Amino acid sequence: MTPPRESRFRRALFVSLAGLEAGMIGALLLLGWLGVAAKWHRRSFWAPENLMASVFYGADAIRGGFSSRTVSGLALYLLLYSVLGALFAFAVQARLPRFRTALLGVLFALSWYYLSFQVLWRTVAPLITRLHIEAPTIWGHVIYGAMLGRFPVYFALGEKEQSEAPPAGSEADG
C-alpha cells in the first residue's frame, strides 16, 4: 500500500530540510577549510568570501581582509551550498546505505565544483576562477560532499523529534 500524498510530501519536505541543514554545515566547514588554506598560502582568511563577493561588486570586492562586501560573498556561499544540499537530499531521499550516500555526496560536490568553477563562474564572475586556489578548493568540496552524505542522520533526528512530540491541538500545547 502506498502512503497518502500528504505523507509523501511531508517526507520530501523533511528530507529537503535535512539536506538544507547538511548543506549549511558542509558550507561552514568548506569555508573554514578554505580560510585556513588561504592563510597557508599567505592570503587573507576571508579571500574565498571576497572572491565570491566579486559576483556583486567585481574587482572592488577583492580586499586583504574582512569588509562589508565580504558579508555578501559569505551569504552567497551559504545560500548556494545550503540549497544544493536540499536538492541533493531531495534527489537521494535517504534510499541508499549511509556510506554510499556519503560517496554520492562527494561525487555530487566535486561535480558541482567542476561545473561551477569551469563553466558558471567563468562567465558570471571570472575573477573567481582566476584567483581561487584550486587544490584546497577541490578538497573543500570533498569535505562539503562528505557532510552532504550525512543528511540521513539529520533526517532521522527530525523523525525522532516528530514522533516524540505531542500531537497538535493536544492538552500539552497548553
* Distances, alpha carbon 158 to alpha carbons 14, 18, 109, in Å: 8, 8, 24
And the C-alpha cell for 73?
560573498
User: 57: which residues sit within 8 A by CB, 6+ positions away?
Assistant: 69, 72
Greater model confidence, 173 or 109: 109
The pLDDT score that the predictor gives to residue 174 is 44
The pLDDT score that the predictor gives to residue 125 is 84
How do residues 1-17 score in pLDDT, each as one tens digit?
A: 455 666 888 888 889 99
* Whether the predicted pLDDT of 95 surpasses 90: no
**What is d(CA 55, CA 124) in angstroms, rounded to the nearest whole number?**
7
How do residues 72-88 score in pLDDT, each as one tens digit?
A: 999 999 999 999 999 99
And the C-alpha cell for 72?
555578501
**What is d(CA 62, CA 173) in angstroms, rounded to the nearest whole number?**
51
How do residues 131-162 score in pLDDT, each as one tens digit?
A: 888 999 999 999 999 999 989 888 877 666 66
Greater model confidence, 57 or 111: 111
Greater model confidence, 167 or 76: 76
Q: Which residue has the cell 505531542?
A: 166
How do residues 21-51 score in pLDDT, each as one tens digit?
A: 999 999 999 999 999 999 999 999 999 999 8
Q: Angle at the Cα of 64 (from 54 to 43), degrees rounded to 5?
A: 100
With residue 147 as reference, give the H or E element that holds it. helix 134-148
Q: Is the model's pTM score more than 0.95?
A: no
The pLDDT score that the predictor gives to residue 145 is 97
And the C-alpha cell for 4?
497518502
